[in-house]
Structure 1
Amino acid sequence: MRKAFVFFLLLAQASFAQQQADVIIYGGTSAAITAAVQVKQMGKSVIVVSPDTHLGGLSSGGLGFTDTGDKSVIGGLAREFYHRVYLHYQTPAAWKWQKQSEYGNKGQGTPAMDGTERTMWIFEPHVAEKVFEDFVKEHNVTVLRNEWLDREKGVVKKNGAIVSFTTLSGKTFKGKMFIDATYEGDLMAAAGVKYHVGREANSVYGEEFNGVQTGVFHHRHHFAMKISPYKVPGDPKSGLLPLISDKDPGIKGEGDSRIQAYCFRMCLSNNPDNRVPFPKPEGYDPARYELLLRVFNSGWRETFDKYDPIPNRKTDTNNHGPVSTDYIGMNYDYPEASYERRREIIKDHEQYQKGLLYFMANDPRMPADVQEKMKQWGLPKDEFMDNGGWPHQLYIREARRMIGQEVMTEHETLSKKAVKQPVGMGSYTLDAHHAQRYVTPDGYVQNEGDIGVHAKIPYKISYGAIIPKKEECRNLLVPVCVSSSHIAFGSIRMEPVFMILGQSAATAAVQAIDSKKAVQDIDYNKLQAQLLKDKQRLSKP
């Protein structure tokens, strides 16, 4: 009797340790959730293996002032997400800290709340997270959280296809198809798929805005004023101020391994009943912000230009100006780093930004007019409540990018070259943040890497850009770390696009299962028909 009990106990443990589904999705991003919902809607089983506890990535992590571009090309489950946000804000209970009539309804290009289309593009983080959780609950999606891929030896491949992967907790996930929906592309990399980190030289794809971009300033995030980079102004012997590189920036147009800066998209509140003062972070050092002080002393006063309003007297606060929330040059090793090192980088970013806020609100050297207004803001009591009002997700603007069956470049995103097999559309500006802060030949500080090239019309995103080359992996789709050049990714990397590509990747995965083919060999005409049936938009209406 005892032996039988032990046998069944071991059997139960084994079944718990190994789980199986038609499609296994790695990641907890917005793309992961739309992909999972699509798999379920097409009648297949799915498991979401999420390193994150909170679902939705940046969409629920502070980026509430949605980067949309032309909203008419956002369809499918992505549009359903924004429709559900709209429905939430139609209820009186949604307006706790502000009357709906007081909300300015400011969006990017169109009203935040579009009554005609019944969509809302601007929202609070907790509202977005609830929509993702509702998606999961309504479709009975299995989600395992806080599960981290064993990147060293967790992926098992056979005959050019992934059989399973194992997480650090010892759980193994076996599937017919796999989707890497992480910002980092960890499953893709562990599966042996080729990828790129950094900026390609312009010569690689015949582009103009890739590689080092010294002297190119498309936004107001550079030093338009002359600021000395030295501890003692004008004296190189005194040493550089913190966060300024002593390296040569490189030759314009040449490739490098630098990546654009990360930051947290902070949700702030100016409601006295729903804010806490900016905390003094561990290891706070006001010397880190001497450069910012010099910018203010030059007369710069654009501090609050990217405190974009979201409902209930809150903001989506993004980087703005020569010294801001972007932690320039402090993320180069993140894409390939160990989990431990990534946690260190994330914590360092948090401490830098918290210190920036604390400095502006408390340092006696700050201009009084800025400090007085800064003290009106604080972290919201009702957002990220298990993290002291601080976002869970660092804005990983760019990490690995797959080198897939096709590569999206500046030419496709600027509609200079046609895409034949689209699975979604993008339209946002080709937008890259600064990658370095350096000393110019004439002895002043300058930033480099910020690019903003307008895509005049929406562009199509190729199916070949979300699948690897067939010889590298036959059953993997990558809707986030898509196959694209650095500058093309600057437009593709928007949250609505990730949701769109997540749904399309899931559709292709199911059709590959049904046809018993590699993802590279499915019938595109059938894929296109299903995408259109599910209200994806593959051309501008």
Structure 2
Amino acid sequence: MKKMIFMLFSCAIAFAANAQNANQYRADVIVYGGTSAAVTAAVQTVRQGKTVIVVSPDKHLGGLTSGGLGFTDTGNKSVIGGLAREFYHRIYMYYDKPETWKWQKKEAYGNKGQGTPAMDGAERTMWIFEPHVAEQVFEDFVKENNLKIYRDEWLDRQSGVVKKDSRIVSIKTLKGKTFTGKVFIDATYEGDLMAAAGVKYHVGREANSVYGEEWNGIQAGVFQHGHYFQKNISPYKIEGDPKSGLLPYVNAEKIGRNGEGDNKIQAYCFRMCLSENPENRIPFARPVGYDPSKYELLARVYKAGWTETFNKYDPIPNKKTDTNNHGPFSTDFIGQNYDYPDATYERRRQIIREHELYQKGLMYYLQNDEHVPQDVRTEMQKWGLPKDEFKDNGGWPHQIYVREARRMLGKEVMTENETLGKKAVNQSVGMGSYSLDAHNAQRYVKEDGFVQNEGDIGVHPKTPYAISYASLVPKKEECQNLLVPVCLSASHIAYGSIRMEPVFMILGQSAASAAVQAIDSKIAVQDVDYARLRAQLLKDKQKLEFAAP
């Protein structure tokens, strides 16, 4: 009997040990995130001969690149190299197959891109694509490189990061899995690992005085896109009567002075993929919780003569669109995301649900409400969600457009002075070129009693600019084995340019190369030999300087 009890006890101990070991994982590099940067970081790590594990909160890989943003913000495509260019080459190869063109002939598509042709035959790249094609390219990367991906694994932000001597030892997820590594890469849009590791960061807009900038902070009266009220529109429930109260989504607080900082962040939205093909269209139903009064400002905009409803229905292949915000009242849910960066997972889910309801309600309103001009309603009724995109989510994108969340306060901070060429950048690990592009951060009441939007900026750099390696790493005393290629160290307005998906892929790859070299040399990421890193990046066809044609 004693022998049996001993055997049972031994088995129980062995079972518990095995169960514990089953939740323990180890690799040279641990990448946290499921974005495009996460995938390129993982691929680069494997190609450099190191082991890697991707711990992804997301079930679908690719972030916004596979989440609806198919009309790529390329900027100057000549400075997009490495794995990013390989991604767009693979997109080209997909659309070179006749069977990819299911709903439309290739010749009928046209070739419109954002500042570049959609299909570049000479370079064999394609910059405009459907979400499911982008996701398949990322999954091809996973399969070909035998990447280990743990999906739907969320970092325990309270106690899941173990550090010793300014180094992360391991991270734990809410499901109890522990991942131990030598170097960690935070490739999330939110910067959750960075924050949980005790690295300092900023949320909101800095005052211009902080970094000697011109375009940061509050920018009331600056209209560089068309996303503002061009005519006088009353913000009150009863037009012209302040006592009646404000309409929904108008900020009651008095606006600050231009150039001052605040805690506001640019608006989020879903980049909806829409279809006008009756065979591939899910109509917009009246959403639960729909309230037409929430769109009264838009009714007044139409009443004032606005006619630009369809100006950002950008065409992607197979009779679909990448539909973005356009005009004074559109898909951007202005002012409804301020607490998102530091919010709990549950609060973030609530914010995301509110954005989804707002946009679905907006689409239903545009198709059905009598306050919308009849010609707009008739055209809108042709559009719906595509049946063959986001199939597990009813055609709705699985990724909200987190245009900006936390931004690290790293070893160096990229500012508008670097992006606009006023200040030289040392130790380039990639390049940006898109305009300093910030969407509206608030909707407020002007002193004359009319409504206006604020925060929409678009300043174009004269030439592409370098992004410093020092902006990818924290201060050494805070963490010595973490790289942050997405929530990197940049001011609000500089991040407005850097935050483009091709750049995230570039920086993900460069971060991985640095991680490998830090491991090989057994040093902190801050001490990586730049000359050696540069040689590797150039070998991998990254673009580090701009040569004017």
TM-score range, shorter chain: over 0.9
1:539 is displaced (CA, Å) by 1.1
Which of 240, 260, 282 aligns to 2:246? It is 240
Can you list the C-alpha shifts for 1:358-383, whole angstroms capped at 9, x where unaligned? 00001122100111110111100000
The separation in 1 between residues aligned to 2:340 and 2:314, in whole angstroms, is: 28
1:290 and 2:303 aligned: no
RMSD, matched Cα: 0.8
1:6 is displaced (CA, Å) by 3.4
Secondary structure in 2 aligned to 1:377?
coil
1:312 is displaced (CA, Å) by 0.2
Structure 1 stretch displaced more, 14-23 or 491-500: 14-23
The separation in 2 between residues aligned to 1:114 and 1:191, in whole angstroms, is: 43
Which of 523, 537, 544 aligns to 1:538? It is 544
Counterpart in the other structure of 2:135: 129
1:18 is displaced (CA, Å) by 1.1
Kept in 2: contact 1:249–1:436 (CA 8 A) = no
Kept in 2: contact 1:50–1:145 (CA 8 A) = yes
Which of 177, 182, 188 aligns to 2:183? It is 177
Kept in 2: contact 1:48–1:144 (CA 8 A) = yes
Secondary structure in 2 aligned to 1:461?
strand
1:155 and 2:161 aligned: yes
Which of 108, 114, 137 aligns to 1:108? It is 114
1:110 is displaced (CA, Å) by 1.5
Secondary structure in 1 aligned to 2:64?
helix
Kept in 2: contact 1:149–1:165 (CA 8 A) = yes
Can you list the C-alpha shifts for 1:98-137, whole angstroms capped at 9, x where unaligned? 0001001100111100000000000000000000011011
- The percentage of counterpart residues that share the same residue type is 72
Can you list the C-alpha shifts for 1:370-426, whole angstroms capped at 9, x where unaligned? 111101111000000000000000000000000000100000000111111000000
The separation in 2 between residues aligned to 1:21 and 1:534, in whole angstroms, is: 23
The separation in 2 between residues aligned to 1:190 and 1:263, in whole angstroms, is: 26
Counterpart in the other structure of 1:485: 491
Secondary structure in 2 aligned to 1:239?
strand
1:5 is displaced (CA, Å) by 3.9
The separation in 2 between residues aligned to 1:409 and 1:355, in whole angstroms, is: 38
Counterpart in the other structure of 1:317: 323
1:70 is displaced (CA, Å) by 0.1
1:14 is displaced (CA, Å) by 1.6
Q: What is the aligned length?
A: 541
The separation in 2 between residues aligned to 1:97 and 1:179, in whole angstroms, is: 40
Which of 364, 379, 383 aligns to 1:373? It is 379
Can you list the C-alpha shifts for 1:445-499, whole angstroms capped at 9, x where unaligned? 0000000000110000000000000000000000000100000000000000000
1:347 and 2:366 aligned: no
1:405 and 2:433 aligned: no
- How do 1:467-482 and structure 2 match up within 5 A? 467-482=473-488
Q: TM-score w.r.t. structure 1 length?
A: 0.99
1:521 is displaced (CA, Å) by 0.5
- Unmatched 5+ residue regions in structure 1? none
Secondary structure in 1 aligned to 2:328?
coil
1:390 and 2:378 aligned: no
Secondary structure in 2 aligned to 1:360?
helix
Secondary structure in 2 aligned to 1:226?
coil
Counterpart in the other structure of 2:202: 196
Can you list the C-alpha shifts for 1:249-306, whole angstroms capped at 9, x where unaligned? 1110000000000000000000010001112111000000000011011110101000
Secondary structure in 1 aligned to 2:272?
coil
1:15 and 2:21 aligned: yes
1:28 is displaced (CA, Å) by 0.3
Structure 1 stretch displaced more, 482-491 or 8-17: 8-17
1:432 and 2:402 aligned: no
Tell me which amino acid in the other structure corresponds to 2:517. Q
1:69 and 2:75 aligned: yes
Kept in 2: contact 1:103–1:311 (CA 8 A) = yes
Kept in 2: contact 1:210–1:486 (CA 8 A) = yes
Which of 398, 421, 434 aligns to 2:427? It is 421
1:15 is displaced (CA, Å) by 1.7
The separation in 2 between residues aligned to 1:46 and 1:279, in whole angstroms, is: 44
Q: TM-score w.r.t. structure 2 length?
A: 0.98
Which of 57, 80, 88 aligns to 1:82? It is 88
1:166 and 2:152 aligned: no
Can you list the C-alpha shifts for 1:308-330, whole angstroms capped at 9, x where unaligned? 00000000000000000000000
